Amino acid sequence: MEASTWPGAAEALALAHELPIPDRRTEKWKYTRVTKLFNANYVAPIAPDVVELPARLPFPATRVVFVNGHFRADLSDELKADKGVVIDSIKNHLGHGPLKAHYGNIAPIGDRLFTAMNTAAPTDGLIILATKGSKTSKPVHILRITIGTKGAAPMLIQPRDLFMLHEGAELEVIDEHVSAPLDGRASASLDGLSSASLVNGIRESAVGEGASLTLHLLQNEADGPADINLDGVTVAAKGHFSIDTTTLYGPLVRNEVNVSLAGPEAHAELSGVYLLDGNAHCDNHSYIGHDVPDCTSDELYKGIVAGKATGVFNGKVYVKQDAQRTRAYQSNANILQGDDARVFSKPELEIYADDVKCSHGCTIGRMDEQAIFYLRSRGVSEAEARRMMSHAFMTNVLDRIANADWRKHLEGMIDAKLEEI
């Protein structure tokens, strides 16, 4: 990996050579083994000229296409439709003031090797600037396609996004990850990860005073790469940030969300659904910092883990000493299907203020066999009974999604996945 002309690239490259590879002794990566990812000889990603796009979403959305990390204007919609909203390849804005003000500051490198790698050599990314009081007329749909080529070396794809919302702006983004088979075969095995590509993404989001950012993340990479993502977010006074993450496929998925509630009455809502089977691995890591008084956060993740799959949840809420009147809630619930499925859950609270209302908890268990028996006694097949119970288990997470069109689309995809596990 060589340094590029991106801001801070040379310094990041030096750090990338110095920082250790996370292993089992690294607490934050204890249950997600990534050392095998570094056995591969990665090459810079190349986007094929001919790309078969999936069907459009069944509701209006502005589609922005990235192929193997590269922005494809020829496959994307018109991006200048909404007044006051700039949507473009981030490469076109590297020397601009707004980028310089935030780039690398919201998600600093620290001791995180993957951030250093991304900062040293991003592939491309999306910049969105929403000026004061502006609003997108329809969701922005980022379609990220990873396409492997038969016989080719694995690729290192490093997306780098920057979202900036000024006072009172509203932005809704759907970030969908899909893939085509690598070398014509599936690679959904942890032991085979060294031969697969790696997507290492960073997104920085600055939510201004009274602004609202809604992110929907869908990971649907059945034959895809290892997918490691970090969302770094700062939320100003009376700002609102929400993200819902749905993981259906992926051999190794790691989602990190680091939120700083930096102004009074800021709010963050994190939701997640993961449906894992085979040898899939999904790790959801979150950190919500209540840095000032009168902020709120709400976190709810649920997963169904079958086969030999592994689910990991680690959520931390940190309340500073002066952050009085904090309200923070965190919950993780899991259903195991099969003797080989595993879940590791660790919700955390670290509180230094005394006027707070905070709670956290987790559950891990089997499906309610008495409820299954009740449904079967009324003529429902066992498979259908389990699907119904699984759908009901996810309902309160999906109900948190305000966009009814996106919620309905997700429900259909989740039901299809439940037929498989």
Q: Model confidence over 245-289: pLDDT tens digits?
A: 999 998 999 999 999 999 999 999 999 999 999 999 999 999 999
Q: Distance (Å, rounded) from C-alpha 272 to C-alpha 216?
A: 10
71, two tokens: 């922005």
Which position has the higher pLDDT, 25 or 148? Answer: 25
381, two tokens: 């097949």
Run of H or E residues at 335: strand 326-337
Q: Cα dist. 328→296, 323, 400 in Å?
A: 6, 11, 16
Distance of CA 109 to the CA centre of its chain: 18
| pLDDT of res. 2 | 46
When pLDDT is cut at 50, 70 and 90, the band that residue 6 belongs to is very high
Spatial CA neighbour of 112 closest among 256, 209, 239:
256
Q: Distance (Å, rounded) from C-alpha 24 to C-alpha 34?
A: 9
Q: Distance (Å, rounded) from C-alpha 217 to C-alpha 149?
A: 25
Using one digit for the tens of pLDDT, what is the confidence trace for 144-187?
A: 999 976 667 899 999 999 999 999 999 999 999 998 754 444 33
Using one digit for the tens of pLDDT, what is the confidence trace for 327-378?
A: 999 999 999 998 999 999 999 999 999 999 999 999 999 988 888 888 888 8
Strand pairing class (281-290; 253-261): parallel
User: What pTM does this model have?
Assistant: 0.93
Using one digit for the tens of pLDDT, what is the confidence trace for 80-135?
A: 989 999 999 999 999 899 899 999 999 999 999 999 999 999 999 999 999 999 99
| pLDDT of res. 4 | 57
142, two tokens: 């980022």
**CB 147 within 8 Å of CB 48:** yes
Spatial CA neighbour of 227 closest among 177, 274, 192, 185:
177
The DSSP output letter for 48 is: -
Q: Is the pLDDT of residue 411 over 70?
A: yes
Q: Distance (Å, rounded) from C-alpha 187 to C-alpha 226?
A: 9
Which position has the higher pLDDT, 244 or 383? Answer: 244
Q: Is the dihedral of CA 149, 152, 154, 160 positive or negative?
A: negative
| pLDDT of res. 381 | 87
Q: Distance (Å, rounded) from C-alpha 194 to C-alpha 405?
A: 38
Q: Distance (Å, rounded) from C-alpha 32 to C-alpha 294?
A: 35
| pLDDT of res. 183 | 43
Longest Cα–Cα distance in the chain: 67
Which residues, 6+ apart, have CB-to-CB distance to 27 below 8 Å? Answer: none
